[in-house]
Amino acid sequence: MSKETFKWEIRLSGSGGQGLITAGIILARAAVLDKLLVTQTQSYGPESRGGYSRADVIISNKEFYYPEAVNFDVLLSLTQDACEAYAKNLKDSGILIADTTNVKNIVPMNAKIYELPLTEIAMEKLGTILPTNILSLAFLVKITGVVSESSLKKAVSDSLKPQFKNLNLKAIKIGFELANRYKK
């Protein structure tokens, strides 16, 4: 690994039930597998579904202290509300990944924007919207390289119940393929 220090502040945002906290935990596990420093925090309301939900993951190769993301390098938004609420804290050099299934309007910004219908793609290719979180996370990982692809796969395998493993490994593959289309 290069000796250059880096710090990724990542916010995964949407509504309760979309699996964003699960995705955050999996991303953090992948970072641990890559021997990086990481904190994963979350904020949610009292509801188990609906309401807002967000997971923050900070990944760095140098010690840091504050555990919540403040100015994001990456913002994933699966809902319009989340996108509106958090886009203002995205760095100019940052990346927005917006699920256009639900996000219809994006305010003008300097950050790089990836707009794609993540939920629809999950439904179309996997027959269920459940793995949208992992599909989106795989896209994020491939675009940013924040953790290694193998660690992401291992973290998914380690974290999910056997009956959901294959479905989500397929979701990772689709997420990676989508990202490849953007890569030069």
Partner 1 sequence: MQSNKSKLKTVLMQGNEAIARGALAAGLDFFAGYPITPSTEIAEICSVELPKFGGKFLQMEDEIASISAIIGASLAGAKTMTATSGPGYSLMTEGIGFAKMTETPCVVVNVMRGGPSTGLPTKPSQADIMQAKWGNHGDAPAIVLYPNSVSESYELSIRAMNLAEKYRTCVVLLSDEVLGHMREPIELPNLANVKIVKRITPTKPPEWYQHYPDNPKYPMPKASFGEGYRFHVTGLSHDSKGFPTNRADETAVLMSRLRNKILHHIDDIVQLESFQMEDAKVAIFAAGITSRAAKEAVMIARKNGVKVGMLRPLTIWPFPDAAVRKLLEDQETIIIPELNEGQLSREIKRVMGCSWNSESKTCKYIVQLNKTNGQLITPEEIFNLIKEVI
Residues in contact with partner 1 by CB under 8 A are 25, 28-29, 32, 35, 37-46, 64-68, 70
Nearer to partner 1, 12 or 179 (CB): 12
Count of CB atoms within 10 A of residue 65's CB? Answer: 5
The full DSSP string for 97-136 is EEETTT-------SSEEEEE-HHHHHHHHHS-STTHHHHH
Nearer to partner 1, 25 or 113 (CB): 25
Q: Is 17 left (phi over 0), alpha (psi -120 to 50) or beta?
A: left
User: Minimum distance between the CB of residue 121 and partner 1, rounded to whole angstroms?
Assistant: 28
Distance, in Å, from the CA atom of 135 to the CA atom of 129, rounded to the nearest integer, reads 10
Nearer to partner 1, 45 or 107 (CB): 45
Nearer to partner 1, 39 or 100 (CB): 39
User: Minimum distance between the CB of residue 81 and partner 1, rounded to whole angstroms?
Assistant: 17
How far from the centroid of its chain's Cα atoms is residue 95's Cα? 11
User: Minimum distance between the CB of residue 27 and partner 1, rounded to whole angstroms?
Assistant: 10
The dihedrals phi and psi of 34, each to the nearest 5 degrees, come to -85, 5
User: Minimum distance between the CB of residue 67 and partner 1, rounded to whole angstroms?
Assistant: 5
User: Minimum distance between the CB of residue 43 and partner 1, rounded to whole angstroms?
Assistant: 7
Nearer to partner 1, 64 or 164 (CB): 64
The amino acid at residue 79 is T
